Chains A and B, each alone.
Chain A
Amino acid sequence: LKIDSGKPILSANDQRAMANRARLRELGLTAVNVLASPGAGKTSVIKRLLEALRARCALGVIEGDVAGRIDADAILAMGIPATQINTDGGCHLDAAMIEQALGQLAIRGPGLVFIENIGNLICPTGFALGESMRLVIASVPEGHDKPLKYPGVFQTADAVVLNKLDLIEHVDFDLDFFTRGVRAVNPAAPIYHACARTGKGFDELVAMLARHAGI
Chain B
Amino acid sequence: VHEASIATALLQAVLKELPPKAVRVERIELRIGVLAGIERRCLAECFAEIARGTKVQGAVLDCRPAMAQLTCRQCGAVVEFDGIQRIEPVCRQCGGPNRLSGGSEMTLQNMEVQVED
Contact = CB atoms under 8 A, between A and B. Distances in A.
Contact of B104 (A123, A126, A183): A126
Contacts of A184: 70, 87-90, 97-100
B64 to A, nearest CB: 13
Contacts, number: 114
Contacts of A124: 2
Nearest to B7: A9
Contacts of A9: 6, 9-10, 13, 30, 106-108
A80 B106 CA distance: 37
Contacts of A123: 1-2, 37
A3 B87 CA distance: 36
A37 interface: no
Nearest to A156: B104
A211 interface: no
B91 to A, nearest CB: 10
Interface stretch (A26-34, A90-98, A99-107, A159-167): A90-98
Contacts of A126: 2, 6, 36-37, 104, 106
B115 interface: yes
B111 A125 contact: no
A187 B97 contact: yes
Given A3-B19, A94-B5, A148 B36 contact: no
Nearest to A177: B89
B35 A10 contact: no
The size class of the interface chain A forms with chain B is 35 or more
B12 A125 contact: no
B35 A152 contact: yes
B95 to A, nearest CB: 12
A94 B108 CA distance: 19
18 contacts: A1-B113, A2-B111, A2-B112, A8-B107, A10-B6, A12-B9, A91-B2, A92-B5, A94-B5, A123-B37, A124-B2, A125-B36, A126-B104, A151-B35, A152-B36, A183-B89, A184-B88, A184-B100
Interface of A: 1-13, 90-92, 94, 122-127, 148, 151-152, 155-156, 180-181, 183-187
Given A148-B89, A184-B99, 13 more contacts: A8-B105, A8-B108, A9-B6, A9-B13, A12-B12, A91-B1, A122-B2, A126-B106, A148-B87, A180-B89, A183-B89, A187-B73, A187-B99
